[in-house]
Amino acid sequence: MRSNRMGWALLAPTLVILAVVGFLPFFYVLYVSLFDWNPFSNQLGMQWAGVNNFRRLVFDGAFLDSLWRTGLFAFTSVTIELALGFLLAQTLVNSFPGRTIFRTIYVLPLVMAPIAVGATWRLLTIPGFGPIPYYLDRWFGIDFRLATYADQAFITVILMDVWHWTPFVTLTLLAGLTAMPKEPLEQAQVDGANRWQVFRYLTIPMMMPVLLTVIFIRLMDALRIVDEVFMLTSGGPGTATQFIGIHIYRVVVPKTDYGYGSAMSLLVLYFTIVLCWLLFIALAQVGKQRE
């Protein structure tokens, strides 16, 4: 127990892999972000640019729009997932006949590849043979055209994300609810607290660590969403669903603007880290109050 060498030895493989495959590329991106580097510009090779890429970025309307759009998307979808997930988790806490079957079915989207989720939703919504536009038109007279109407596309992308990830939220919250001590709740009921009060003053505070953990994970992933949306709308119509992941993809890959794209992704990483760090600190604070 005294010697730390053994501890470090056990930790070492993890740290080595993360350093080599994780941090090495990060430093490379950091390095590239300080250069102008686009194989298709008039000047070949890397040209030193200092912080010019970042200077351009803070004035880049398309980038800022995309950032804002991503934030809106992540906020909306994570909120819906949390609310829905909490509701569903509560219905699953108590055992009832058929619970296992429902739960099994409900977990299906969780195992699907994001790219397959995108493909599935594309098949659902594609005008011409998708059932959603067909029945919406037939039953409600709604002209549903994902690739034409920006708001429809945005809503569909959120619905797709909710469909894909609410099961995860539900199950995590369910695990938390299942593990929650029962006496305080019973005590409160004896004391005459109504359901809302129990929920507001007991369940929520007790669930806080789990809630924050879920928000942390979902927010982190929602902010870097690419595959599903790319498959469903490829960022369109126009730029209506061009979230930051897709925006960066377009800059780095088809446009081959390596330097600018690297700067862009670092900036996004910066925002994500700050946001997640705040959540992390909140999580740690909750832990302290508990002790």
Partner 1 sequence: MLKRKLTVVLGILVLFSMVLSACAPAALPAAQPAAPAVEGEASWWRTAAQTAGCEGVTLRGISESTPPSRYAADVLAKAFEAETGIKIELEATSWDEMYTKAINDMQAATGIYDFVYIEQDIIYQYLANNYLTNLTQLLADNPELASPDFDFAKFTTFIDNFKDAEGNIYGVPMEAFLKVYLYRKDLFSDPAIQEAFKAQYGYDLAPATTHAQYRDIAEFFTQYGRDNGLDLWGTTVQGNTGHASSFYEFFESIAPTFGVYNWGINMDNWKATVENGGEMNSDKAKEALAFWVDMLNYAPPEATASTWDEVAASFAAGRAAQGWVYGENAAWIATDPDRSRVVGNVGVALPPVAEGVMEDAESGVGYIGYYDGGAFGLPVSSKNQLCTLLWLQYIGQESVQADWAIAGSRIVMESTYDDPKVQEVDAKVDGYYTLMKEAGPLFRGAPPFPFHAALREVVQPYIWKALSGELTPAEALDQAAAAADAELVNLGYGQ
Partner 2 sequence: MADTKTDSQKLVAPVQHKGRRGFLPIETNTFDRYFISVILWIGVSLLWMRFLEAMIPLWVSTVLCLVLAIIIIRKG
Partner 3 sequence: MKTSTLRKTFGWIGLYGLWIAMSIITIVPIYWMIVVSARSRVELFDAPTLLITSFYAPNYIKPLTDPVFQRYLVNSLIVATSNALLVTVLALLATYALSRWRLPGADNIFFWTITQRMAPPAAFVLPMFLIYTRIFKIGDWTMFDTQIGLILLYCVFNLPFAVWLMKGIMDGVPVELDEAAFVDGANRWTVLTRVVAPLVAPGLAITFILSWIFAWNEYLFAANLTSVNARTITTGLAAFVSVTGTNWGEMAAVATVAILPALIFLVFVQRYIVTGLTFGAVKE
Residues 107-146 that bind partner 1 (CB under 8 A): 126-128, 133, 145-146
Kindly identify the residues of this chain, within the stretch 64-123, that bind partner 3 according to CB under 8 A. Answer: 88, 91, 96, 98, 102-116, 119-121, 123
Question: Which among partner 1, partner 3, partner 2, none contacts residue 43 (Cβ within 5 to 8 A by kind)?
Answer: partner 1
Nearer to partner 1, 126 or 193 (CB): 126
Does the footprint of partner 1 cover residue 167 (CB under 8 A)?
A: no
Cβ atoms 256, 39 nearer than 8 A: yes
Kindly identify the residues of this chain, within the stretch 224-253, that bind partner 1 according to CB under 8 A. Answer: 233-242, 250-251, 253
Total residues contacting partner 3 (rule CB under 8 A)? 91
The only residue of 40, 96, 151, 182 in contact with partner 2, by rule CB under 8 A: 182
Tell me the CA end-to-end span of the chain in Å, nearest whole number: 25
| Residues in contact with 286: Cβ distance below 8 Å, sequence separation at least 6, in sequence order | 208, 209, 212
| Residues in contact with 59: Cβ distance below 8 Å, sequence separation at least 6, in sequence order | none
Smallest separation, CB 28 to partner 1 (Å)? 12
Tell me which residues touch partner 2 (CB under 8 A). Answer: 51, 54-55, 58-59, 175-176, 178-183, 206-210, 212-213, 267, 270, 273-274, 277, 280-281, 283-288, 290-291
